[in-house]
Amino acid sequence: MKNIVALVFTIVLLFSCSCQPDGNAGSTPKATTSTAAKPAPKMKIPKFDRDSAYQFIAAQAAFGPRVPNTPAHTACKNYLAGKLADFGATVIEQDFKVKAYTGTTLNATNIIGQFNPTAPKRIVLAAHWDSRHIADYDPDESKRKEPVMGVDDGASGVGVLLEIARQLGANPIENLGIDIIFFDAEDHGEGGEGNVESWGLGSQHWSRNFHVSGYRADYGILLDMVGSKNARFPIEGTSARYAPNIVRKVWRLAQGMGYGDYFSAQNVGGITDDHYFVNTIARIPMIDIINLPIKSDKDTDEIFVNHWHTTHDTMENIDKRTLRAVGQVVLAVVYNEAMGRLQ
């Protein structure tokens, strides 16, 4: 019954905006009374192009592992900043130096692409763009000191957001600002029982040093590992704790759009990801859309996908249907929000 209500709700949402051409050509002008509020702008929700997102992921993978202090990392940074600029964003590269748990000082950069930079109502869309320095969960012990390709873990979220940036450039929104943030140095943390603060160094830096002073956003959506076949995005504990209303509206919309197999209503334990720092330091409510599959392999208590932090996190795991599910849901959130159609 709840599903039917959600489905009807979303069908109304989707069709009420996609059938209305801009300018209302051919329709009778509607009478408006002088007391009526300014009507919300009418916009079509663009179609998320999964092939385009896939290409953006392949382009990142082609640089090799994007580990801070390597040429591949610098080359990928320039690629990402260039793409955001091509799509019409105002781009800020927030450079910073930070000491990793290993003792190495990382030269890192958060990449921010602003759409409608002056709009007071804003949403953050984020993913991390660095890849992990070590494959410490590789099944082959001899490979555990190699860096990871970080295709699902990193590049997938960035690829989906680049496609969303492309759509924002081609289909401008009104009354809403979007900040796409590619956090650096998320994945240079200490494994095992290591310190939580050794992870998410870019999001910690940004949360203490916004790219514009006095910055505020209504809420944020983090994408992490959004590319795998049969991905499952349950309600993750840190999101549920700090941003329950955002979880509710995103999952309700996703389930109504027919993506309930991906956007599972299951609640799972909280994890430390970039959203933890944005929630606790910046105090901007941020959810994490992250693949936490049901593990059939009971020998491990690891909650992440099997290729997580291994040398097998490569393009082979990417399924375009998963990219589209996530991308279309996030686009629907953004455009419905801009039209004032989400509570």
Q: Which residues bind ligand AHN (CB under 6 A)?
A: 153, 187, 189, 199, 224, 271-273
Q: Is 319 in the site for Zn ion (CB under 5 A)?
A: no
For residue 288, the partner it binds in Zn ion, ligand AHN, none, with Cβ less than 5 to 8 A by kind, is none
Q: Is 187 in the site for Zn ion (CB under 5 A)?
A: yes
Q: CB of 308: closest distance to Zn ion in angstroms?
A: 7
For residue 224, the partner it binds in ligand AHN, Zn ion, none, with Cβ less than 5 to 8 A by kind, is ligand AHN
Residue with Cβ nearer ligand AHN (7 or 303): 303
How far, in Å, CA of 343 to CA of 340, rounded?
8
For residue 69, the partner it binds in ligand AHN, Zn ion, none, with Cβ less than 5 to 8 A by kind, is none
Q: CB of 333: closest distance to Zn ion in angstroms?
A: 24
Residues 6+ positions from 257 with CB-CB distance below 8 Å: 10, 14, 328, 329, 332
Structural contact between residues 121 and 36, judged by C-beta atoms closer than 8 angstroms: no
Task: Fill in the amino acid letter for 190.
Answer: E
Place of tokens 């704790």: 241
Both tokens of residue 6? Answer: 């959600």
Residue with Cβ nearer ligand AHN (13 or 290): 290
Q: CB of 203: closest distance to ligand AHN in angstroms?
A: 11
DSSP string, 163-219: HHHHHHHHS--SS-EEEEEEESSSS----TT--GGGS-HHHHHHHHS-SSTT---SE
Q: CB of 58: closest distance to ligand AHN in angstroms?
A: 20
Both tokens of residue 44? Answer: 């079509």
Q: CB of 153: closest distance to Zn ion in angstroms?
A: 4
Report the SS3 class of residue 19: coil
Structural contact between residues 106 and 100, judged by C-beta atoms closer than 8 angstroms: yes
Residue with Cβ nearer ligand AHN (43 or 330): 330
Residue with Cβ nearer ligand AHN (108 or 271): 271
Q: CB of 314: closest distance to Zn ion in angstroms?
A: 14
Give residues in contact with Zn ion (CB under 5 A): 132, 153, 187
